[in-house]
Amino acid sequence: MRWNMRLSRLWLALLLVLGAHARAAPSHAQAPTPIREFVIGYSAQGRPIEAVQVGTGPRKLVIVGNTHGAPEANTYELTRQLIDHYRANPQAVPDAVRLYLIPTVNPDGIALDWRFDAFGVDLNRNMNTNLDECRENDWSRSVFGAYGITSDTGGAFPDSQLESRVLRNFLLDAAGVIFIHSNAGLVFPAFCEHGPSIRMAEIYATGAGYEYQRFWERYFITGGTHDWAASLGIAAIIPELVSPVDPEYEQNLRGIEAVLAAYAEVLPLPAEQVVNGQPVPAVIWRYWRAHGGEAVFGLPLEPPRQTALGIQQTFARARLEYRPSLADTLFVVQPVPVQATLTSNGSISAAFGAVPVGIPADGLASPMISDAPLFFEQSGYRISGGFQQFWAQHGGMDVFGVPLSAEQTARTADGQLRTVQLFERAIFAYDAETEQVQLEPVGWQVLLRGQVLAPTSAAQIR
Ligand SMILES: [Zn+2]
């Protein structure tokens, strides 16, 4: 019975989400499909990463033009031409689809006249591809790059680069993504077995008149954007243009038209998952998994629930919130704020905040990889050492926020005295024995406290 009520609340949430989309559309049926131009985030050197949206359907298809900077500038030019086409012909996007065209995720690479980002990292080798069943494509600092040359351009750790984090969040609710490169002259899907990715690559290749290959055969691509996307259930392919200079507009337009016509087959709607016996909404699951999963946030402890702002779900070490009103921003899913104080007896009293914190106006903050301690003017506290490393590697400002205390000793949930530090959206605790940093299990504690305080069934009879 309770289960059914929760399930029906989920349906209500879904209807609200769909309703929000419907309201965004013009009120009468004959109106043109909306076209929206916006910035999804910024590069490390502060250049905008721009997107154009055409259509408002439930299936999000993203075309990422340029990833590899200046040497593949024809992919940027191609996407600009595609934008002109879909601006003039928005009705070419089926009602079931909303199409996003991103001319480049690497504006710094274009400006700097090379393949890499501003830090010399290859953005198609930096993603966390350790989430799928395949080992060969796992992230590595040492990578095979252009012409099969080996170099240390995978980045300091998976998703270390700002542009990778922009992609990681913007694609959370995507059904499909096409990463265009040049110039090997073929189309291939994600490395690990994923039916919709394979079908999309076949259909694109046939439409465009390019050669289809199941695998990139020259070497293993580690940390690839397409492999990361497919590991979350997003259909993902790489078309490689034939020419290093020609945008090959006609061919790729036909490839995209073929994919759009086959949307039911190749653009699967993000699917709810079951973890720890709990249903987890698709977008929350993808965020959880892409940001460290059980190791960082713990397992889901209860079904999702509807709130005024969206859907929340409590995990052992965080409460994650999906806000439909923030769709297509980098903050569509975030951990809710943690309000914590250190009590006079040395233990931590924590609860989840009810008030939403402000969304950063200028996109994702820099991961700020640095060996020197970081000082935060916003709060007047600094982070350093193991806490700093954990903070930077697992999402930084965008996941945990700024520090709200200095490091101090406190009694953690397991009754041990440990070094802890409070952050806006988490409490860090250091285990000296394992030399590991972990988030305090605030979700587990809050649910436990709720059970202790809840009336017993006998009391409910009154
Ligand atoms: Zn490339």
Comparing C-alpha atoms, which of 30, 66, 60, 61 is closest to residue 47?
A: 66
How many helices (DSSP H) and strands (DSSP E) are in the chain?
14, 25
Cα Rg, the chain, nearest whole Å: 23
Q: Is residue 351 part of a domain?
A: yes
Say how many Å lie between the CA of residue 266 and the centre of ligand 1.
23
> What is this structure's pTM?
0.90
312 and 237 assigned to the same domain? no
pLDDT digits (tens, 9 = 90+) for 41-73: 999 999 999 999 999 999 999 999 999 999 999
Same domain, 115 and 248: yes
Distance of CA 96 from the midpoint of ligand 1 (Å): 30
| Range(s) of the domain holding residue 352 | 277-451
Residue 17 falls within a domain, yes or no? no
89 and 121 both lie in a single domain = yes
- Classified as helix, coil or strand, 101 is strand
> Do 233 and 343 share a structural domain?
no
pLDDT at 173 over 70: yes
Ligand 1 centroid – CA 181 distance (Å): 4
Q: Tens digits of per-residue pLDDT, 433-458?
A: 889 999 999 999 999 988 877 655 44
Same domain, 255 and 356: no
CATH number, domain containing residue 43: 3.40.630.10
pLDDT in tens, 148-168: 788 999 999 999 999 999 999
For residues 387-399, average pLDDT: 91
The phi and psi torsions of 151 (rounded to 5 degrees) equal -155, 165
- Rounded distance between C-alpha atoms, residue 376 and residue 406, angstroms: 11
Q: How far is the CA of 444 from the centre of ligand 1 (A)?
A: 44
What's the pLDDT tens digit per position in 17-37? 443 444 344 444 445 568 999
- First CA to last CA across the chain, in angstroms? 20
Span from the CA of 366 to the centroid of ligand 1 (angstroms):
24
Q: How far is the CA of 219 from the centre of ligand 1 (A)?
A: 14
Q: Ligand 1 center to residue 213 CA distance, Å? A: 16
Report pLDDT for 1: 33
pLDDT band with cut points at 50, 70 and 90 for residue 462: very low
Look at residue 19 in the predicted model and tell me its pLDDT.
39
Do 255 and 297 lie in one domain? The reply is no
CA of 405 to the centre of ligand 1 (A): 44
d(CA 365, CA 401): 10
Specify whether the CB–CB gap between 438 and 317 falls below 8 A.
Answer: yes
pLDDT 10s digits, 203-241:
999 999 999 999 999 999 999 999 999 999 999 999 999
Same domain for 262 and 298, yes or no, is no
308 lies in the same domain as 407 = yes
**Centre of ligand 1 from the C-alpha of residue 121, in Å:** 13
Residues 283 and 208 occupy one common structural domain: no
pLDDT digits (tens, 9 = 90+) for 369-390: 667 888 988 889 999 999 999 9
Domain C-terminal end among 214, 237, 266: 266
Instruction: Quote the ligand 1 centre to 262 CA distance (angstroms).
Output: 26
For residue 127, pLDDT beyond 60:
yes
**pLDDT at residue number 450:** 85
- The answer to the question of residue 25 being in a domain is no
| Nearest one of 199, 182, 181 to 190, comparing CA atoms | 199
Ligand 1 geometric centre to CA of 123 (Å): 9
Query: Average pLDDT in the 416-422 region?
Result: 95
The pLDDT of residue 203? 98
Q: DSSP assignment, residue 308?
A: S
Single out the residue in 232, 266, 300 at which a domain terminates.
266
CA 78 – ligand 1 centroid, Å: 14
Residue 383 domain flag: yes
How many angstroms separate the alpha carbon of residue 184 from the centre of ligand 1? 9
- 411's enclosing H/E stretch is strand 408-411
* Distance in Å, CA 417 to ligand 1 centroid: 50
Question: What's residue 26's pLDDT?
Answer: 42
Which of 245, 266, 287 is the endpoint of a domain?
Answer: 266
Rounded distance from Cα 105 to ligand 1 centre (Å): 12
Q: Say how many Å lie between the CA of residue 212 and the centre of ligand 1.
A: 17
Q: How many residues does the chain have?
A: 462
- Domain membership of residue 409 (yes or no) is yes
Tell me what pLDDT residue 152 has. Answer: 93
> Is residue 62 in some structural domain?
yes
Same domain (yes/no): 224, 124: yes
Q: Are residues 107 and 209 in the same domain?
A: yes
In a domain, 103, yes or no: yes
Distance 420 CA to ligand 1 centre (A): 43
Give the pLDDT score at 180. 98
Give distance in angstroms: CA of 68 to centre of ligand 1.
5
CA of 99 to the centre of ligand 1 (A): 22
Residue 140, pLDDT > 80, answer yes
Total domains present in the chain: 2
Q: Which amino acid is located at 342 in the chain? A: L
C-alpha of residue 17 to centroid of ligand 1, in Å:
36
Q: Are 286 and 217 part of one and the same domain?
A: no
Is 280:274 a contact under the CB 8 Å cutoff? yes
Whether residue 85 is predicted with pLDDT greater than 70 in this model: the reply is yes
Q: Does a structural domain hold residue 459?
A: no
